[in-house]
């Protein structure tokens, strides 16, 4: 190895050459990147040999946990047989085709086709074009606008970041692009005021109706939302929200797009988040858990309504990626889905570890710093609050959230903080005992922040 790559100064090399995603580089370089070297089950190990319980499954994606040699073997086999071939000019590869079939087999009767991408962002940019192409093909070319939500996340590409509702992303690069508008989010704790959660769920869903009145539904292509907002803070909508959204989309003839990039592949105890909430979307971008993050792959589930038009009326859809359906990534995804099926991980989340997690994590609600402790399946959040009774939040919400996260990390647990919400999304293979450890370290971190506040 050349001297510049010697492992002892890896942090310095990183600071010198590597621009990280969503990072303040100057600040990061001053602290130095943590170097993660190995993973096993729900644990990761850094270059100092320190062990962490990964309560976040990488970035919401390592559903089957780390170190699964079945995937490494499947990938090595495919690499040796055929490392790459495209799916453009009348060709396919065995893993791409078999993966298409397998994903559809879990997606419900409405979904029988998939378009492959390399990421969740590309999946969102893909359906954004596909939805407009669909409406044009059936003679309604004015239906172009996409309605999305504030504090939603749909990726970092131009359409993805525009449909996302992150202000700090819009501020950079003149987003959103034209034709994308936003309505409110079902975040009752912060924005529900005096309404009950159910009343609030209906009220925010009806913002969609009001927006359609304003824009004219003849100009609107689709509404997009995550079943549960992930990056926005694990915002679990009130029970009234999704049925009302689905009703409005149907009544007003706009497409419903469910961004399944996090909620897909077992996270909520269902194969897809729309199944958990009992709605039938027209399009569903996927990624992350599709391969448990072992290799990059994503896609868009395309319902029969749209696939029929694409196939019979559009002819050529002029869109695709060099690596759409990449055979090695598809082989990794296929093996990942075999593991999820074989170990019945979706059922395990629904019937066993999800309910166990709900109880253990939910018990944190008794802590003085915690306003609510909520979860669905293995996706959970703690809302930190200055006053439980009035849902008043801290004056410096970001500081409180990062303090809890840093204490957890120092004690061997990776949690994420989105402002004053602590997010959990562990691998689906986590044991009861490991859930207990997660909750114990989280409580300890809360205690430490609580005692610091009293100083
Ligand atoms: C992560 C994420 C994306 C973007 O996926 P990438 O693979 O990072 O491009 C899109 N939508 C949701 C809901 C996500 O969580």
Q: Which residue out of 226, 262, 283 has the highest number of ligand 1 atoms within 8 Å of its CB and is therefore the one to mutate?
A: 262
Residue in the block written with tokens 């897809």: 272
Residues 331 and 348 in one domain: no
Which of 318, 342, 366 is where one domain is finished? 342
Band the pLDDT of 455: cuts 50, 70, 90: low
Residues 365 and 309 in one domain: no
Band the pLDDT of 454: cuts 50, 70, 90: confident
Residues 290 and 370 in one domain: no
Whether the predicted pLDDT of 6 surpasses 80 = no
Q: Sign of the CA dihedral 52, 54, 55, 58?
A: positive
pLDDT of 13-60, one tens digit each? 999 999 999 999 999 999 999 999 999 999 999 999 999 999 999 999
Largest CA distance in the chain: 69
pLDDT of 303-345, one tens digit each? 999 999 999 999 999 999 999 999 999 999 999 999 999 999 9
In a domain, 25, yes or no: no
Which ligand 1 atom minimizes the distance to the CA of 120? 5
Geometric angle at alpha carbon 157, from 153 and 160, rounded to 5°: 35
Residue nearest to atom 6 of ligand 1 (CA): 120
In a domain, 26, yes or no: no
pLDDT of 378-407, one tens digit each? 999 999 999 999 999 999 999 999 999 999
Residues 186 and 328 in one domain: yes
Residues 116 and 214 in one domain: yes
By percentage, how much of the chain surpasses pLDDT 70?
98
Which of 342, 376, 392 is where one domain is finished? 342
pLDDT of 71-127, one tens digit each? 999 999 999 999 999 999 999 999 999 999 999 999 999 999 999 999 999 999 999
In a domain, 15, yes or no: no
Structural domain boundaries, residue 146: 71-342
Which ligand 1 atom minimizes the distance to the CA of 263? 13
Residues 53 and 129 in one domain: no
Is the whole model's pTM more than 0.85, yes or no?
Answer: yes
Whether 291 contacts 324, CB under 8 Å: no
Residues 330 and 187 in one domain: yes
Residues 113 and 149 in one domain: yes
Model pLDDT, residue 267: 98
304 burial level (CB within 10 Å; 0-12, 13-18, 19+): middle
pLDDT of 126-181, one tens digit each? 999 999 999 999 999 999 999 999 999 999 999 999 999 999 999 999 999 999 99
Which ligand 1 atom minimizes the distance to the CA of 287? 7
In a domain, 1, yes or no: no
In a domain, 104, yes or no: yes
Residue in the block written with tokens 């390399």: 118
Residue nearest to atom 14 of ligand 1 (CA): 261
Residues 328 and 316 in one domain: yes
Model pLDDT, residue 27: 95
In a domain, 4, yes or no: no
Which of 310, 342, 374 is where one domain is finished? 342
Q: Which residues contact ligand 1 via a Cβ below 6 A?
A: 119-121, 124, 153-155, 226, 230-231, 259, 261-262, 287, 298
In a domain, 24, yes or no: no
Which ligand 1 atom minimizes the distance to the CA of 288? 7
Whether the predicted pLDDT of 422 surpasses 90 = yes
Averaged over 205-220, what is the pLDDT?
A: 98
Number of domains in the chain: 2
Whether 430 contacts 380, CB under 8 Å: no
Full 3-state SS string of the chain: CCHHHCHHHHHHHHHHHCCCCCCCHHHHHHHCCCCEEEEEECEEEECCCCEEEECCHHHHCCCCCECCHHHHHHHHHHHHHCCCCCCCCCCCCHHHHHHHHHHHHCCCCCEEEEEEECCHHHHHHHHHHHHHHHHHHCCCCCCCEEEEECCCCCCCCHHHHHHCCCHHHHCCCCCCCCCEEEECCCCHHHHCCCCCHHHHHHHHHHHHHHHHHHHCHHHEEEEEECCCECCCCCECCCCCHHHHHHHHHHHCCCEEEECCCCCCCCCCCCCCHHHHHCCCCCEEEECHHHCCCCCCCEEEEEEHHHHHHHHHHHCCCCCCCCCCCCHHHHHHHHHHHHHHHHCCHHHHHHHHHHHHHHHHHHHHHHCCCEEEEEEECCEEEEEECCECCCCECCCCHHHHHHHHHHHHHHCCEECEEECCEEEECCCCCCCHHHHHHHHHHHHHHHHHHHHHHHC
Residues 331 and 353 in one domain: no
CATH of the domain at 388: 3.90.1150.10
Band the pLDDT of 66: cuts 50, 70, 90: very high
Residues 286 and 391 in one domain: no
Band the pLDDT of 4: cuts 50, 70, 90: very low
Alpha-carbon distance of 422 to 16, in angstroms, equals: 31
Band the pLDDT of 7: cuts 50, 70, 90: low
CA of 431 to the centre of ligand 1 (A): 26
CA of 153 to the centre of ligand 1 (A): 7
Residues 152 and 55 in one domain: no
In a domain, 206, yes or no: yes
CA of 298 to the centre of ligand 1 (A): 9
Q: What is the mean pLDDT of the chain?
A: 97
Model pLDDT, residue 1: 44
Q: Which residue out of 226, 228, 235, 261 has the highest number of ligand 1 atoms within 8 Å of its CB and is therefore the one to mutate?
A: 261
CATH of the domain at 256: 3.40.640.10
Averaged over 204-220, what is the pLDDT?
A: 98
């Amino acid at each position: 190895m050349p001297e510049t790559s010697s492992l002892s100064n890896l942090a310095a090399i990183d600071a010198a050459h590597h621009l990280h995603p969503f990072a303040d580089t100057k600040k990061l370089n001053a602290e130095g990147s943590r170097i993660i070297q190995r993973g096993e089950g729900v644990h990761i190990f850094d270059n100092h040999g320190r062990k962490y319980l990964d309560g976040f499954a990488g970035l919401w994606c390592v559903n089957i946990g780390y170190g699964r040699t079945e995937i490494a073997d499947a990938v090595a086999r495919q690499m040796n047989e055929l490392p790459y071939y495209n799916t453009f000019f009348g060709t396919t590869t065995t893993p791409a085709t078999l993966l298409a079939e397998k994903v559809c087999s879990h997606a419900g009767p409405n979904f029988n086709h998939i378009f492959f991408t390399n990421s969740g962002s590309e999946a969102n940019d893909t359906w954004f074009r596909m939805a407009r192409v669909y409406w044009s093909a059936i003679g309604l070319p004015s239906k172009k606008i996409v309605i999305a939500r504030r504090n939603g996340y749909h990726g970092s590409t131009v359409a993805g970041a525009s449909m996302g509702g992150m202000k700090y992303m819009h501020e950079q690069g003149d987003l959103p692009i034209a034709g994308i508008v936003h309505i409110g989010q079902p975040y009752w704790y912060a924005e529900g005021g005096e309404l009950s959660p159910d009343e609030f769920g209906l009220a925010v869903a009806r913002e969609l109706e009001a927006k359609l009145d304003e824009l004219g539904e003849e100009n609107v292509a689709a509404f997009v939302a995550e079943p549960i907002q992930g990056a926005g803070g694990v915002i679990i909508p009130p029970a009234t929200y999704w049925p009302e959204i689905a009703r409005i989309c149907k009544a007003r003839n706009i497409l419903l797009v469910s961004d399944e990039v996090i909620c897909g592949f077992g996270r909520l105890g269902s194969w897809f988040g729309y199944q958990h909430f009992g709605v039938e979307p027209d399009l569903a971008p996927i990624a992350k858990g599709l391969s448990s993050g072992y290799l990059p792959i994503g896609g868009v589930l395309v319902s029969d309504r749209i696939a029929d038009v694409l196939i019979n009326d559009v002819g050529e859809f002029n869109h695709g990626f060099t690596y759409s359906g990449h055979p090695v990534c598809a082989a990794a995804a296929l093996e990942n889905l075999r593991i999820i099926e074989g170990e019945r991980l979706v059922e395990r989340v629904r019937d066993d570890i999800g309910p166990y997690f709900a109880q253990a994590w939910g018990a944190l609600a008794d802590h003085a710093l915690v306003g609510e402790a909520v979860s669905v399946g293995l996706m959970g959040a703690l809302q930190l609050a200055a006053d439980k009774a009035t849902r008043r939040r801290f004056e410096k919400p970001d500081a409180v959230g990062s303090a809890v996260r840093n204490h957890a990390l120092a004690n061997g647990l990776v949690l994420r903080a989105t402002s004053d919400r602590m997010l959990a999304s562990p691998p689906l293979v986590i044991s009861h005992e490991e859930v207990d450890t997660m909750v114990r370290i989280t409580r300890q971190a809360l205690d430490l922040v609580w005692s610091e506040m009293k100083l």
